[in-house]
């Protein structure tokens, strides 16, 4: 049993998935966290899942850009930037088992697995491939979402509320423990935000002030009453969160963030894990049922009378297998068209990644 395993053998290395609006500071936060962990002699394993990013200012162990050529996807499919991000993620997700195999292997010897995601949140969180990648991670190790908030841009009650509703929808979609990270506190203190989250009266007071001030964004009677009601709904959501204030620039708050991750790992093991496993089993069951249904339809179309008793020995199963193999081949052909455009073997070279030295980003 390695030190990263629980008594029952489950991998306990936390995976931290950084999600946040464009420009909230995800990449800078990852860079700071990476160098902080290196300074504690706890090197992490780093994955970049943003196919469109130009520069990643730290060493990555797995980078979607090494596997999928985003520009080529855009050209070949005549897609815009967001469509190409989704398609690139889809292509990457076809190899999720391979990728996860590498991550799991390496996760035994690192402190954390850090995952950077595209700033176009919806491309990742609301896409099938995002769900596949998150599911795969969560089924292998405790997985925590770090929702990065641009604090200076969230000081008005209206933008604060929008941001929190967005975070709430991500929690609902991913069903993973979440830490709200108020970033850029070197520019604006996040005390106002933590107060609004814990003291309902103070948020109400801020709403009243906004209502009276016509120059403030969102300052209309209807909006205020809508936000009043929504803030009541969000009270329940806030109870499930850990909140930390950090500055990716100065490094303030990094230890508090790591403590919050430990807290969420415990929560994952007690509250979320069973749910993750239940959802996974349900999906497998649905997949199996769909396969059986398709098979019955195929037999019917071919004019073969269904005989439940005979199905086991007769070619029905072979047809299904052949069909599956064809599907797999199609998927592989599709993926290979874009994956590893340089012509390297396989999607990801395990040895290449395992030998790779990753810098601390300084």
Ligand X SMILES: Nc1nc2c(ncn2[C@@H]2O[C@H](COP(=O)(O)OP(=O)(O)OP(=O)(O)O)[C@@H](O)[C@H]2O)c(=O)[nH]1
Nearer to ligand X, 250 or 277 (CB): 250
Q: What angle do CA 30, 34, 37 make, to 5 degrees?
A: 135
- Does an H or E element contain 236, and which? helix 221-238
How crowded is residue 120: how many other Cβ atoms within 10 Å of its Cβ?
18
Who contacts 35 (Cβ-Cβ below 8 Å, separation ≥6)?
A: 58, 251, 360, 361, 362
Where are any strands of DSSP class E within the chain?
15-20, 45-48, 62-63, 113-116, 143-150, 178-183, 241-245
To ligand X, the closest distance from the beta carbon of 23 in angstroms equals 4
Instruction: Identify which of 248, 260, 179, 353 has the alpha carbon closest to the alpha carbon of residue 35.
Output: 248
Would you tell me which residues interact with ligand X (CB under 6 A)? 20, 22-28, 53, 119, 183-184, 186-187, 247-249
- Write down the least CB distance from residue 287 to ligand X, Å: 33
By beta-carbon proximity to ligand X, the closer residue of 26 and 264 is 26
Query: Which CB atom, from 191 or from 281, has the smaller least distance to ligand X?
Result: 191
Both tokens of residue 215?
């120059």
In whole angstroms, the minimum distance from the beta carbon of 125 to ligand X comes to: 13
CB of 259 to ligand X, least distance (A): 19
Q: Which residue is nearest to ligand X (CB)?
A: 119
Structure tokens that stand for 200 in this block: 């309902």
Q: How far is the CB of 335 from ligand X (least distance, A)?
A: 25
Q: Which residues contact 271 (CB under 8 A, 6 or more apart)?
A: 177
What's the rounded Cα separation, in Å, for the pair 213 and 69?
Answer: 50
Task: Decide: 145 and 17 in contact? Cβ < 8 Å.
Answer: yes
Query: Shortest gap between Cβ of 27 and ligand X (angstroms)?
Result: 3
CA angle 68, 71, 72 (to 5 degrees): 70
User: Looking at beta carbons only, is 190 or 241 nearer to ligand X?
Assistant: 190
Is the CB of 119 or the CB of 361 nearer to ligand X? 119
Is the Cβ of residue 248 or residue 265 nearer to ligand X in the bound state? 248
Rounded to a whole number of angstroms, the minimum distance from the CB of residue 205 to ligand X is 28
CA distance 253 to 189: 12
- CB nearer to ligand X: give 23 or 81: 23
């Amino acid at each position: 049993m390695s030190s990263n395993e629980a008594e029952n053998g489950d991998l306990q290395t936390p995976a931290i998935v950084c999600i946040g609006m464009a420009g909230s500071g995800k990449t800078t936060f990852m860079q700071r966290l990476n160098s902080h962990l290196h300074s504690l002699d706890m090197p992490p394993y780093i994955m970049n899942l943003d196919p469109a990013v130009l520069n990643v200012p730290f060493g990555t162990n797995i980078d979607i850009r090494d596997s999928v050529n985003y520009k080529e996807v855009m050209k070949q499919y005549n897609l815009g930037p967001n469509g190409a991000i989704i398609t690139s993620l889809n292509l990457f997700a076809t190899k999720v088992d391979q990728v996860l195999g590498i991550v799991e292997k390496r996760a035994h010897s690192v402190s954390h697995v850090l995952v950077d995601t595209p700033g176009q949140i919806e491309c990742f969180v609301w896409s099938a491939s995002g769900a596949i990648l998150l599911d795969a991670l969560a089924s292998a190790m405790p997985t925590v979402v770090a929702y990065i908030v641009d604090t200076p841009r969230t000081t008005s009650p209206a933008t604060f509320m929008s941001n929190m509703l967005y975070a709430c929808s991500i929690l609902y979609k991913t069903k993973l423990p979440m830490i709200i990270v108020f970033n850029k506190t070197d520019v604006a203190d996040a005390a106002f935000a933590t107060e609004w989250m814990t003291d309902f009266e103070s948020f109400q007071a801020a709403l009243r002030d906004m209502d009276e001030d016509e120059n403030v964004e969102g300052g209309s009677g209807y909006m205020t009453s809508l936000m009043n009601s929504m803030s009541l709904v969000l009270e329940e959501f806030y109870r499930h969160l850990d909140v930390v204030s950090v500055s990716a620039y100065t490094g303030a708050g990094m230890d508090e963030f790591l403590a919050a991750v430990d807290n969420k790992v415990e929560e994952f093991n007690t509250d979320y894990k069973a749910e993750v496993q239940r959802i996974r089993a349900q999906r497998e069951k649905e997949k199996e049922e769909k396969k059986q249904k398709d098979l019955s339809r195929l037999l019917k179309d071919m004019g073969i009378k269904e005989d439940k008793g005979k199905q086991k020995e007769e070619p029905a199963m072979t047809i299904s297998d052949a069909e599956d193999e064809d599907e797999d081949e199609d998927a592989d052909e599709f993926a290979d068209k874009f994956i590893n455009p340089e012509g390297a073997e396989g999607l990801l070279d395990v040895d290449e990644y395992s030998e790779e030295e990753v810098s601390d980003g300084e």
